[in-house]
Amino acid sequence: MKVLSHETLPLRQPEDVVLVRNKVRNWMQEEGYRLIAQTRLATAVSELARNALDYGGGGVARLEKVQNGSREGIRVVIEDRGPGIADVEQAMRDGYTTGSGMGLGLGGARRLVDEFEIWSQPGQGTRVTIVQWR
């Protein structure tokens, strides 16, 4: 997969979540992605960025325009150096939360995007990579 351009944004306060997802939306608008694809990826990014902020103590979001053969897409990597997730499978399950949310964010984000990959190590942090193809 080839990265055509990228940008890294901080996730330190709630306003940053809005900034990151608006950036994703703007990128996709410029590139002429369909409205539904824009909404799906922006919503997934919103869920994951808020997780990084609320549970990971903040982190960074890396936005990439990628190309795989003739296929173009947007990849977003959201990473934090928080406490990590002990049981990823459990965390992905709908309705499970250690906080006060609905417990739908992680599983929901996976259903919204074309590709979803999660890495987490207790004590080291969590990294979620998602891709939406055109």
Partner 1 sequence: MTSEQANPIAQVLREHPQDLLEQWIQVQMDAPWVRLDLIGEAEIRAQSAELIELLGAACQSGNVSDIQADEWGRVRDFLRELSRSRATLGFSPTETAQFVLSFKMPLINMLRQASPSLDMQVWQTMWQASVLVDDLALYLLDVYMTSREQVIKRQQMELMELSTPVVQVWEGILVLPIIGTLDTARTQVVMENLLQAIVETASDIAIIDITGVPMVDTSVAQHLIKTVTAARLMGARCIVSGIRPQIAQTMVNLGVTFADITTRASLADALAYAFAQLNMRVTRNESS
Helices (H) and strands (E) in the chain, counts: 4, 5
Length of the chain (residues): 134
Question: Does the footprint of partner 1 cover residue 92 (CB under 8 A)?
Answer: no
Encoding tokens for residue 84?
A: 């990590």
Q: Are 71 and 77 in contact (CB under 8 A)?
A: no
The phi, psi pair for 41, rounded to 5°, reads -65, -45
Task: Give the binding range for partner 1 (CB under 8 A) out of 8-16, 65-73, 84-92, 125-133.
Answer: 8-16
- Near partner 1 by CB under 8 A: residue from 23, 43, 83, 133: 43
- Near partner 1 by CB under 8 A: residue from 18, 29, 68, 115: 18
Question: Does the footprint of partner 1 cover residue 104 (CB under 8 A)?
Answer: yes
Amino acid identity of 97? T
Question: Does the footprint of partner 1 cover residue 60 (CB under 8 A)?
Answer: yes
Other Cβ atoms closer than 10 A to 18: 12
Question: Does the footprint of partner 1 cover residue 102 (CB under 8 A)?
Answer: yes
Residues of this chain that interact with partner 1 (CB under 8 A) are: 8-10, 12, 14, 18, 21, 25, 35-36, 38-40, 42-43, 46-47, 50, 60, 94, 101-102, 104-105, 107-108, 111-112
